[in-house]
Structure formats: structure tokens, C-alpha cells
Amino acid sequence: MEDEFHELTDRVRAELRSPQDLVAYERLLGLARKNTPAGREELARMLVAVERPLWTREIAAFVLGCAGDKRAFETLVLLLNYREPMRCATAAHALGRLGDPRTARAAAALATNPLRTAYALHPVRLLAELRAPQSVPALIATLERLLTPHNPYWRVALACVEGLGALGDRRAVPTLTAAVTHPRLAAAAAASLARLGVHEDVAAEGDGADDRADGAIGRGHAPGGSDPGVSGRQ
């Protein structure tokens, strides 16, 4: 946590606007460094305190989340869906260490919400890190939605591609095969397919370029029968 905590506190320090802010900031850092039960109780009270700047809740939630204190969950999920990527990244780091079973469901809901795609990068990465039952279905659904021409959220799609490769679940093969045809995703999709045991040449031929590739794809692994988007070659 140490490096991430220093990055957070350095960023927050630049947001301070008054001597009172500096006093509150130094007090927060003192509580975080002491890491006592009484200090965690005070940090938890800051999560629900009114008329406090957002950075006070962010620091308190980060410290509590990394300590496994589930009282930080709601604040961290709020920050995971925030408009500032740095705050999203901080929240994702703490949520990954919180150990709350609700985290994967919340991350999946944010990643698959088409109205929040602009803020989905860190929920997507968090799902890959968590390796929860919700992870693969949510990443597949999000990637499928983003496989359209000229989609502005290609970085989110790339994170899905990389996450699916890391998770190693063959349910992702058809969607990753489709991603190979997208120039910004092609290399990562081929690499993820290779991690799943699918040769890059077969994935590249997944559009039916020749009869041999079509035959290989037709023998693909899929529950309950063949799947035209899956290669059976290892």
C-alpha cells in the first residue's frame, strides 16, 4: 500500500486550499500512520461526515479499504465510478484489497452499464484482478458491446481483452476472435487467444477467409455443440 498511499497523499496535497485544509490533511495522515482501532473508528466517521471535501473521504476510505474494513465499501464504489481517473484508480486498488464479496458485483454493474462506459476502465481492470465468478461474463459482455467501428472507448475494450486473456476462461474465445479484426485490439486479442491455447493464425482466419480455417473453427469448443467463433486447434 505504501507507494499508492504516497501517490494519493501527494495528489491530495495539491488540492488543499486553506490552512484549515492543511490541518485536516495532516490529521488524516497521522491517523493513517498510527493504524490503531481508535484511529480507524475516526476514519470511519469521516466517511459519513457532512460538509467535508471529497479528499478527506477518499483518504479515509483508501486506508480502511486496504486494512480490510468493509465500512469503506460504499465510498470506494462511489469513487470507482468517479469522473476523475486518478480517483478511480485509487479506489480500485483499495477495493482489490478489501475482501468484500460485494465488490465484484459492483464492478460488474459499472463495467456493463452502457451509460458509464467512459468511466469503465478501472472497474474492468478490477474485475480481472478479482477473478470472481462475475468477472468473465462481465468482461465478455462489455467487450462485445464495444466491438463496433470507430468506438471511442477502445482503451476499455483493450482492458477487457487483456483481462480475459489473464483470466484464462475459454468462454472468451469467440469474443476475442472477433476482437482480432479490430486494429487497435488485434495484437492483444491474439496474445490473449494464445494464452487460451488458440493459435494466432486460426484466430486471424476467424472471418472465414479460407475453407481450412472454417473447418477448424467449426470444431471449436463450446458447451452443447459447435460455436462458429471458437477454434478447436491447440
Over residues 27-80, the pLDDT tens digits come to: 999 998 888 899 999 999 999 998 889 999 999 999 999 999 999 999 999 999
Share of the chain above pLDDT 90, in %: 76
Is pLDDT above 80 for 121? yes
Q: Which region among 34-48, 152-166, 208-222 has the lowest average model confidence (pLDDT)?
A: 208-222
Q: Are 107 and 95 in contact (CB under 8 A)?
A: yes
For 44, half-sphere exposure in the C-beta direction (CA atoms, 13 angstrom radius) is 13
Mean pLDDT of the chain: 86
| Helix extents (H) in the chain | 2-13, 19-34, 37-47, 54-66, 73-80, 85-98, 102-112, 121-130, 135-146, 154-167, 173-179, 186-195, 200-204, 211-218
Total-model pTM: 0.82
